Amino acid sequence: MASEKITPPVNFYVLILFGLILLSLQLMSSAMQESSELSAMYSWLLLFNALGSVVLLVLVGANIFSLIQHTKRREAGSRLTTRMVSLFVVLALAPAVIVFYFSMQFLHQGIDSWFNVEIDRALEDALELSQASLDQRTRWHLKQTQQVTGKLEESSDSMVAADIENLRELSGASEMTLFSHQGRIIASSSINPGDILPSLPDEHIWLQLRQNGEYVALTPIHEEELMVRVIVTVKTAETKYLQALYPVPVRIADLADSVEFAFVRYQEMNYLRNSLKLSFSLALSLVLLMSLLAAIWVAFISIRNITAPVKELVKGTKAVALGYYDQELPVLAQDDLGFLVESFNDMTHRISQARDETRQAGVEVENQRAYLETILANLTAGVISFDAIYKIRTANQAAYRIFHVHVNQFIGQTLIELVQSYAELAEPLKSIQRLLEQADDIWQQRIAFLGPNGRQELLCRGTPLFSQDGLRVGAVVVFDDVTDLIQAQKNAAWGEVARRLAHEIKNPLTPIQLSAERLQHKLADKLELADAVILQKSTRTIVQQVEAMKEMVDDFSEYAKPSKKQAVVIDLALLIQEVLVLYALKSGVKFNADYGDGAQLIHGDPVSIRQVLHNLIKNALEAIGANGLINISLHRVQKNNTDFIEIGLYDDGPGIKDDQIERIFEPYVTTKVKGTGLGLAIVKKIIEEHGGAIWVDTARKVGAGFIIQFPACNVESL
Amino acid sequence: MRLLKSNNPFCCLVYAVLFFLYASFNAGYAAEFSAEVSQLESVRHGDNYAFSAGVIYHLSDNAKSALQNGVPLFWNLRFKIQQQRDLLWNITLRNDVIRYRIQYHALLNMYRVRNETNGEITSFSTLSAALESMSMVTDFPELKAVDINPQKDYICAVKVDFDRDALPLPLRPIAYVNPQWYLSSNWTLWPLKK
């Protein structure tokens, strides 16, 4: 378990932000109450919430844009997120819109229900009643003042101040002032002795007074008090004006004020009806908008958190599909998805382990295979394996050395298909193919064929391969080139024969010859002429045959003895030139020689090598007659990283028959009437004693051709 | 403004979205109903400077209607005297505010003007008389001549601010976006005569 703590889908800061949004909306709701102290902040709260809505809108827009980009890029989890967000928005939006619609309906109908014609009329009537009441009181005070004025008209100037005092007290006015025509104060009396300056009418009152002769009106003083101001003309010699201020009783003033307050309030509310609807609608819309936007934003965050493990799982699965098994996904929550992620981690861990073990096993198998291949490659025996239908599966390097064919290039093909490219190998390959198909058990067969180096003899051993069910799954063939071994055995046998012949036959020859000569010497004179002639012929024949037998024994002796007597560095080009000079003077045969570039050095016995050349050239001369052509080429070749000096000797004679090519180098094999058949055997023996090889060039179709190779003697090694 | 008076609930959601666009559109709007400072005067009386200003108020139909329906309107008359400096901020010597309130009284059928700064209340039978009473302002606090440096330049500034935040709450959002409620003046400057 990577984490033991269960984490909520949204983080702490998002919850705080969400709380702030709710608080702001609550404050705005409170601010809409007229009596609330927050009402002064209403505009700021409205602006703040509007900005909050814009910020949320930008956040939601950015999230939607990001989601669209991710969906376009087909990123992991984007489609799941889109589906979940769409579902959430639809589920959240549908009820919210329905609630919003009906809330608006109720809100508007509720506000409209506050107002009706009856209340409107009642309040207007109440106000009119108050106005009528006050008007009646005003008119009564006007009449009262006019009555007082009559008394004042009779008052003298000296008594006017005292009369005003009396009249004020009599009339119940709070203040009474007598003005001259010009507006100058003549006398004044106030209920409050502290008031030095009486209340003065303004210009509008004077204008109205001069136009109408009297003025009466309710005048507010201070904030809530009412006063009836009455000014009437005093008809004296000089026109004077008497101003009387009558206080409106507090109870009446309060009642009037209450009626006015209710009327004004109702009128104001009626006036603000549409504004109120708009204001509430705006607040409700903001609440809905912010709530929805905040919910969608939080939904984005929550869904992102929920789908995060799914995204990681998708990424991990893709990585595993691509072969990256070292995936360790973080466990973000301890829920079902967390369990899924843990299971995925376990799975990838086990796959990774299995992959490592498989890789290790593969490496071991590969090492083993490489080891076996190395062994096979270094085997002197050729090894070719076949599948169930005898198609080549593997072949080692020795197979190439033996067949001189890159068998590896024919993997997946049968030996018969190989024959089509290398007709000269038809006989051995067909034999092997036939044996493979026929044999149900281990088989061994000696197969001879004519290779590029002459006759080759292979010892083949085949083993069919079976599965555990007993089905044939292939075969393996191991073959050795035993040509040299057999040749060595033959040479040893012939050497032994030659040695015995030389020993057993040569010894009695001399007494036979001496005895024949003694018979001739003793009996020649004693016999008749005819008999003497017969004797002479017979003894001569005996002596000649003994000589011939001696020569034959000498040849055998020569064949049996080792030829590499005194090894020195020889320049083959010079040696060939020296030999050819001898033959060029004697016959009309044309020699065409190519000695190559520079000295062609070998290490050997010059006498033996010279004998090889003599034997071969003699054979060629005997084959071509008096007017023939002998081509001799000399050049350096490289074979198996070893330099050889190759001599090619070709004539234009009748050539060698095919049935004789295989055995041409064996003793007593000859095409000539006279001859022991040891010439080429000795040549081959000498060459092989020098580490070289000789074979008939079977590719040549005209005359006979021999190819001789001697190990080259490098100048550096001298 | 018919749009804002619509009763369709769905339109209100649209209003909420359009509100801010509309507000920003009207931010730089020079309303035809804005007040204007028509006269500025500074007179030296002995050791003091006295100031007076004349202001013309233009009330829009919406403002008149609101006033007629009992909504009180408030203006703040701002008055500043600053010493001018070339490189640094100006030094403010005087920053006074006179707050006026005008309200219709249905009972008396009168308009009452109250100077909120000194508490003086005056009632008028007509709106024009009430506005005229507010138009001539002479009760700015006097400035002592010793506070004035003869070597320096001084400017006087007057501005009339209509207080939209003092409107009834439902009216405020509209007042912020409706040019009929742009009843304030710009700053009017004039040099102080020494």
Instruction: List chain B domain ranges.
Output: 1-28, 31-191
* Residue numbers in A near B165 (CB within 8 A): 40, 43
Band (A689; pLDDT cuts 50, 70, 90): confident
Nearest by CB: A130 against B65, B66, B107: B107
Alpha-carbon Rg of chain A, whole angstroms? Answer: 71
Of all residues in chain B, the one with the smallest CA distance to A32 is: B169
Task: Report the distance separating Cα B173 and Cα A31, nearest Å.
Answer: 13
For the residues A427-441, what does the mean pLDDT come to?
Answer: 85
Confirm or reject contact between B87 and chain A (CB < 8 A): no
pLDDT for A612 beyond 70: yes
Which residues, at least 6 apart from A675, have a Cβ–Cβ distance to it below 8 Å?
A: none
B107 and A268 in contact by Cβ < 8 A? no
The angle at the Cα of A197, spanning A194 to A201, to the nearest 5 degrees, equals 135
* Residue numbers in B near A54 (CB within 8 A): 20
CB burial readout A58-79, b (16+ within 10 A) else e: ebbeebeeebeebeeeeebbbe
* pLDDT for residue A462: 92
Burial class (CB in 10 A: 0-12, 13-18, 19+), A110: exposed
Helix (H, G, I), strand (E, B) or coil at B23: helix
Helix (H, G, I), strand (E, B) or coil at B184: coil
Per-residue pLDDT tens over the stretch A557-571: 777 666 556 788 889
* Residue numbers in A near B70 (CB within 8 A): 263-265, 267-268, 271
Task: Report the distance separating Cα A65 and Cα A449, nearest Å.
Answer: 82
Of all residues in chain A, the one with the smallest CA distance to B164 is: A43
pLDDT for A363 beyond 90: yes
Q: What is the mean pLDDT of chain A?
A: 83
- In the beta sheet, which residues pair with residue A464? A475
In 3D space, the residue among A635, A663, A642 whose CA is nearest the CA of residue A401 turns out to be A642
Per-residue pLDDT tens over the stretch A3-57: 444 455 556 777 777 787 778 777 777 776 665 566 677 777 778 888 888 888 8
Farthest-apart Cα atoms in chain B, separation = 67
Quote the minimal CA–CA distance from B169 to chain A in Å: 7
Q: Do A568-711 and A131-259 have the same topology in CATH?
A: no
What ranges do the domains of chain A cover? 12-115+272-319, 131-259, 379-481, 488-560, 568-711
Mutate to test the interface with A, among B13, B21, B128 (most CBs of A within 10 A): B13
Burial class (CB in 10 A: 0-12, 13-18, 19+), A93: middle
- Output the CA–CA distances (angstroms, integers) from residue A321 to A315, A324, A349, in the order listed: 10, 7, 14
* pLDDT for residue A586: 62
In 3D space, the residue among A548, A544, A560, A541 whose CA is nearest the CA of residue A506 turns out to be A548
Confirm or reject contact between B174 and chain A (CB < 8 A): yes
In 3D space, the residue among A703, A717, A567, A709 whose CA is nearest the CA of residue A635 turns out to be A709
Q: Could you identify the residue written with the tokens 């028509």?
A: B38
Confirm or reject contact between B120 and chain A (CB < 8 A): no
Please tell me the least confidently modeled range out of A121-135, A414-428, A458-472. A414-428
Farthest-apart Cα atoms in chain A, separation = 241
A379-481 folds as: Beta-Lactamase (3.30.450)
Phi (first) and psi of residue A353, to 5 degrees: -60, -45
Indicate the CATH number for domain A568-711: 3.30.565.10
Band (B24; pLDDT cuts 50, 70, 90): very low
Write the single-letter amino acid at A252: I
- Output the CA–CA distances (angstroms, integers) from residue A677 to A128, A655, A668, A673, A697, in the order listed: 167, 16, 4, 10, 20
Query: What are the helix (H) ranges across A322-335?
Result: none
B106 and A288 in contact by Cβ < 8 A? no
Task: Report the distance separating Cα A696 and Cα A687, nearest Å.
Answer: 14
Please tell me the least confidently modeled range out of A208-222, A278-292, A362-376, A552-566. A552-566
Confirm or reject contact between B20 and chain A (CB < 8 A): yes
For the residues B63-89, what does the mean pLDDT come to?
Answer: 91
With beta carbons less than 8 A apart as the criterion, state whether B28 and B186 touch: no
* pLDDT for residue B27: 46
pLDDT for A672 beyond 60: yes
B71 and A271 in contact by Cβ < 8 A? yes
* Homologous superfamily, domain A131-259: PAS domain (3.30.450.20)
Of all residues in chain B, the one with the smallest CA distance to A48 is: B20
pLDDT for A76 beyond 60: yes
* pLDDT for residue B163: 92
Nearest by CB: B107 against A104, A127, A277: A127
Nearest by CB: B16 against A260, A271, A285: A285
With beta carbons less than 8 A apart as the criterion, state whether A494 and A667 touch: yes
Band (B162; pLDDT cuts 50, 70, 90): very high
A204 and B124 in contact by Cβ < 8 A? yes
Pairing verdict, β B188-191 and A568-571? unpaired
Percent of chain A predicted with pLDDT > 90: 6
- Is ipTM beyond 0.90? no
* Residue numbers in B near A131 (CB within 8 A): 107
Per-residue pLDDT tens over the stretch A486-521: 877 877 787 787 777 777 777 888 888 888 888 888
Mutate to test the interface with A, among B109, B118, B169, B174 (most CBs of A within 10 A): B169
* Residue numbers in A near B176 (CB within 8 A): 43
Burial class (CB in 10 A: 0-12, 13-18, 19+), A9: middle
Burial class (CB in 10 A: 0-12, 13-18, 19+), A517: middle
* Residue numbers in B near A264 (CB within 8 A): 69-70, 106
Quote the minimal CA–CA distance from A317 to chain B in Å: 45
For the residues A666-694, what does the mean pLDDT come to?
Answer: 77
Confirm or reject contact between B108 and chain A (CB < 8 A): yes
